[in-house]
Chain A
């Protein structure tokens, strides 16, 4: 229980049962990135899954679009405290991408154009929990929000949903990615408020 803040009532205008603790609702779509927005031409775009044995599976843009896609409506939660409910995306389930990938690794490092990385347990990418998303609200995903394609893992804080994703590297041991090495939590469950290491 915290200290009572004299005179603070809070507005609670937007309180909602779907909000994880410490989050507030936003209706716009904030942009958070560590550097300039990469602009990736579609004819040069690639996504590569690299297994621990060195095998590589690569899709170009037309190959990605040729895969079965899904419409996904989910809530998203940013570690900087905003949540956005009922966002709608279109993308390819990682179950589809991994159909022909043989791996025994338990962890994945996502890599992005621009150099960003983030680590995720492999099981958090499977069974309908994660997608490579390329549309938001029926429109091509804007570069500011990670277009042409980003990882979408709605059940974790949104820094795990790597923008401008171009690679998934299977890892036998967990390793910190970009923000995790700077003190953010290795897993990032919004419902347990796993914001920073030790949370």
Chain B
């Protein structure tokens, strides 16, 4: 196992929302200006703290969607609205540019892609599991890195796909990036197959052969990650090369 550099004390910082972008009907990106942000690796997350007027506060972790360049100094998080959630509806519906939010990070040294890793990369996203994987795709693009990337992205309907336009543009402009969509409820017009869930054939056809020893990152809801990781291991991928991030709950 690679030992990550040990961060110092993670202090809370006040970030300012500089812009918001609606990604899908239920997902929104917050662009944050965070003074003295130390930078982050693609795949890391941050902790966010909201405080009500009476002092009640709630904390959540969110994956960082953006790659880091000191020049832009900006950090983006993309939040999927959970209807029964306490924090995500606030971030997707209420927050406006100019608002301040307390943040700390970056956090996590395991589920990260480093441009120094020479292996080809397979990204497998379920729903909003695309977010940390998008940071990897963006980091690769900014660096013009040569490692071939393949993304398998499972969404319910075409409307649920985050970053769809950007992904299409990158497939055209970033050499060595392939993207394959899996639609589980509704496909776009003219799609060659009916809706289906990710399966052995999908990963076999659109992933890398285990012989290539790719670095694999799987992120999504628990049941999705369990299914995808089981398939990868059954296909012969070394479990130690398959990194997972699961989410579920409120």
Contacts and interface: CB of A to CB of B under 8 A. Distances in A.
B186 interface: no
A115 B101 contact: no
A91 B238 CA distance: 31
A5 B48 CA distance: 11
A138 interface: no
Interface stretch (B1-9, B21-29, B30-38, B177-185): B1-9
Contact of B230 (A22, A31, A37): A37
Interface stretch (A99-107, A119-127, A177-185): A177-185
A6 interface: yes
A8 B1 contact: no
B232 A36 contact: yes
B107 interface: yes
A173 interface: no
Interface string A158-199: 000000000000000000001101110000000000001111
Q: Contact residue range for chain B?
A: 35 or more
Contacts of A115: 1, 240
B193 interface: no
B99 A5 contact: yes
B116 interface: no
B69 interface: no
Interface string A122-155: 0000000000000000000000100000000000
Chain A at the B interface: SS class: loop
Nearest to A182: B109
A177 to B, nearest CB: 10
Interface residues of A, number: 41
Contacts of B229: 35-37
Given A30-B246, A35-B244, A3 B1 contact: no
A13 B85 CA distance: 11
A28 B249 contact: yes
Nearest to A31: B222
Contact of B14 (A3, A24, A36): A3
Interface of B: 1, 3-4, 6-10, 12, 14, 49-53, 55-61, 86, 90, 94, 99-102, 107-111, 222, 226, 229-230, 232-233, 239-240, 242-244, 246-250
7 contacts: A26-B250, A30-B246, A36-B233, A81-B59, A82-B249, A178-B1, A182-B110
